[in-house]
Amino acid sequence: MTELTELVGSWMRRQRWYSTKAVEPRLRLLGSFELERAPESADDGSRIVTHFFCDDAPRSPRVYQVPLVARVQRDGEPAGYVGEAGGRHLYDGPAEEAYVAALVALMTGAGDADGEHARATGHTLGGRIPVHSSRRLSAEQSNTSIVAEIADGVLSLVKVFRVVQDGENPDISTLAALTAGGSERTPALLGWLSGSWPAADGGRATGELALMQDFVPGAEDGWELAVSAAERGEDFTDRAYALGAGTAELHRLMAGVLPTRPAGADDVRAALDGMFRRLTITTTEVPEVEQLRAAIATVYEAAAAAPLPVLQRIHGDLHLGQVLYSPDRGWQFIDFEGEPLRPLAERALPDATMRDVAGMLRSFDYVSGSLAQREPPVDAREWAAAAREAYLEGYASVAGDVLHEFADLLTAFELDKAVYEITYEARHRPSWIPIPRAAVERLLDDAQGIAPREAGASSR
């Protein structure tokens, strides 16, 4: 293992975006490319190199994009300091203004960067954008986000994908289509970077590496906004109604700018297989759910026998944490990557819009559930019920009778998500199991023609 690989492996394990926390990284360098310094950046003799490392530690190897700025002289020890290798001091690229400026120049200038077994190509929906300054945001998941000032008081958001995969990333393809279609419900896509690198198992991989989009000024995170309102007992129905209407508007625009197709028997079979697979996992890991299995299966089978929807591109992972509220723009939808646990190739496939609606309904329920875990607990069940109802009314105000037409499907999707949540909570937060368990029981009680639950079943 080279000095660089050892250093990056030690540093990577401490990063929030490293996805295999329980094991020590086993890295191998696949390739790299070097970025040219942006014209607006001062030349301090540093090099800006993006590396691709394969981590063979997890069962399924993962490829990480690791941009580094290398300097001969050490410039203190900021949060982005990685260490020393090859006689140079290395800094995490997204924390360095020189890297951000070079990345944006490559994206919005539609340039190319060739390197050792790897290359990158920029794409833009406008023209070249210079960066005046930048700062990395502290909240990281599988990506790193950066706020870049591109003019006096004008900001943009740059997202660097840390885990990179072969195939189309819907966070870019969806946002590009929506931007071209004139969407007012999403930030505008300004540019993106695609690349190619050696695949983990040989051959070549191609995919997206980064994007740049409009920054929504003065926006509030939807989850934090909802939790704050519920905690204080403030009425949220107007905003929930507007969010429902906005969701339907987003779906309508997606159907207009991206492919659609009728659902068929194979789609029903695949959806049912997924639902029953998740149900089996849950009943295995949380045996008390077994007594609800027959009733849950009845709901799933009723949805499979109901009218089939037209399938289209959807958000894929819609919840309150994926929306922003702006005083000027209203609700804005962000992060179109889809469910992180699904293979990338599946996330851009056409799906039923009711899956998005179900995700948002579960999110309102989790606002109430999370407050019930407080000490002292806050009872926000009525708040959540009112918000859910207002959200559905808002959706129907734009989409018409679709919620009634596909009511069985919506119930099945929400039930499926709650079943999955039981497994998640059992693995990570056992004290939170009552939140999705109560939702499963409520949904079964609300459903028509289902088998009765076993006497005495309770989430308490």
| Distance of alpha carbon 421 from alpha carbon 426, whole angstroms | 8
| Distance of alpha carbon 388 from alpha carbon 400, whole angstroms | 17
- Structure confidence at residue 140 (pLDDT): 64
Are the C-beta atoms of 88 and 74 separated by less than 8 Å?
no
- Structure confidence at residue 455 (pLDDT): 34
Spatial CA neighbour of 346 closest among 314, 319, 323, 321: 314
Give the number of other CB atoms < 10 A from CB of residue 401.
8
| Distance of alpha carbon 349 from alpha carbon 351, whole angstroms | 6
| Distance of alpha carbon 300 from alpha carbon 413, whole angstroms | 8
Tens-digit pLDDT profile for residues 339-350: 876 788 888 899
Q: Report angle CA 48, 54, 60 to the nearest 5 degrees.
A: 150
Single-letter residue type at 225: L
| Distance of alpha carbon 336 from alpha carbon 351, whole angstroms | 14
Mean pLDDT of the chain: 93
- What domains, with CATH codes, occur in the chain? 3-18+25-214 (no CATH), 220-446 (3.90.1200.10)
Single-letter residue type at 79: A
Average pLDDT, stretch 348-366?
97
Residues 6+ apart with CB under 8 A from 85: 3, 4, 7
| Distance of alpha carbon 278 from alpha carbon 317, whole angstroms | 17
Tens-digit pLDDT profile for residues 224-249: 999 999 999 999 999 999 999 999 99
- Helix (H/G/I), strand (E/B), else coil: 215: coil
Tens-digit pLDDT profile for residues 301-321: 999 999 999 999 999 999 999
**If you compute the radius of gyration of the chain from its CA atoms, what whole number of angstroms results?**
24
3-class SS shares of the chain: helix, strand, coil, % to 5:
40, 25, 35
First to last CA, the chain: 53
Are the C-beta atoms of 12 and 18 separated by less than 8 Å?
yes
| Distance of alpha carbon 21 from alpha carbon 439, whole angstroms | 31
Tens-digit pLDDT profile for residues 318-331: 999 999 999 999 99
